[in-house]
Structure 1
């Protein structure tokens, strides 16, 4: 019996660490060939590609918030494997900035990576995506949380844009047989999330979840893997909050 994603070609931005790396491993385990995008640190990306195998994975350096970088990323995928079936726009940054402390530079960089990048990645990729392809954007459960601390303002501004992008792109690209959905993780035990947080704060966040723990990158990756299968083609324009029931 063939694997569910056999013959599929995937791009995962921010694919060398954390949730991105878990998504890469999940898609590869289901049979997909994967382009692993990274922005600066080549070693983890090359190591991940090597563990999957040169015939099934390729690490590509590109700034996911820059159009020329995006065009290069798409070109390398198409040059190597001829098409793109799965697009996971996972790359993102999360500086903690409330209104008072946000600079124009902060705003421009967050919007470039978190909004402009996914927007133009979809634009440049879709000409190479056949019917029954899947696009997965990344939001956050905090977009639906009833209490949010002010320093999340800039980050959540960008993720609110992602959720609206998901809704409208689904209408546009659905006509071409391409499904567009977003996955919105809750607190997940990644290096980015854990950095700078005292142990007591981490335990408090974990204890507030019905399961009594943080999510893992694999929890998120498993859902992405399901949404990339042909059986999920009728799921379109949805934001799936993957958080263990916390919100």
Structure 2
């Protein structure tokens, strides 16, 4: 590196602030816990599960951290804007946005209820765009936007067509938005978990199906929310800031 070249310096004299959607359960809740452990003030966004979201915030504050829980439909631009307003008024700015909220419905294409398709696309596509739009407008320099896809986009398993299509749209956005934010010192990345032991994944599956999924990775187990939260924490941190415009398949080596 020449004497004229510089490495971006991220402010260290101010608290870092994160917004996490889908923060009441599963990967989102574990991400809230992990970022709080790293010293972030966290705004936990929930749609309908108020009690676990508020419990997560109370656990953090009881341990000496800073967290609040806010209700919002991530596909509603006014509600999402209000979440960002709250984060700025409570903590002074926003450094990290993690959009972990999502919806999944499984069915072969020929049997798919189109109302379920619309609901998935509203949350997984429109919701991602709404959150990303606010993040692009409001993240401070040195910040990060982290969205969620799924490794099923590559695995192409039957019955996952509609869900996979909604998450493929998220992947398509990632590098484009990273390039649109040129000059802002903001990264945009997507995490694509494999089979992970969350309610969203386990719901409706019998023990045989779960065992088959656990046997897929060379590591021979399901992922855990903590596995995925560690990836998110890295991407959110200054240490992960050179990773940009990528889709990281956190799946134990399935693909």
Superposition TM-score, scaled by structure 2 size: 0.90
**Aligned mates of 1:5, 1:109 — CA distance in 2:** 42
Whether 1:239 and 2:239 are equivalent positions in the alignment is no
User: 1:98 offset after TM fit, Å?
Assistant: 2.8
Give the secondary-structure state (helix, strand or coil) at the position aligned to 1:58.
Answer: strand
Distance 1:169 1:56, change over 3 A: same
Q: Deviations over 1:162-184 (max 9, x none)?
A: 00100100101132111000000
**Aligned mates of 1:102, 1:64 — CA distance in 2:** 24
CA contact (8 A) 2:135 2:145 kept: no
- Alpha-carbon RMSD across the aligned residues, in angstroms, is 1.6
Give the secondary-structure state (helix, strand or coil) at the position aligned to 1:225.
Answer: helix
Structure 1: 5+ residue stretches without partners: none
CA contact (8 A) 2:18 2:42 kept: yes
Distance 1:46 1:53, change over 3 A: same
Distance 1:65 1:143, change over 3 A: same
Match of residue 125, structure 2, among 99, 103, 115: 115
Equivalent residue number for residue 124 of structure 1: 134
Number of aligned residues: 242
Match of residue 47, structure 1, among 55, 62, 67: 55
Distance 1:5 1:164, change over 3 A: farther
Mean CA deviation greater in 89-98 or 235-244: 89-98
Mean CA deviation greater in 231-240 or 63-72: 63-72
CA contact (8 A) 2:187 2:244 kept: yes
Q: Deviations over 1:144-203 (max 9, x none)?
A: 12x411x21110111000001001001011321110000000000011111111112111
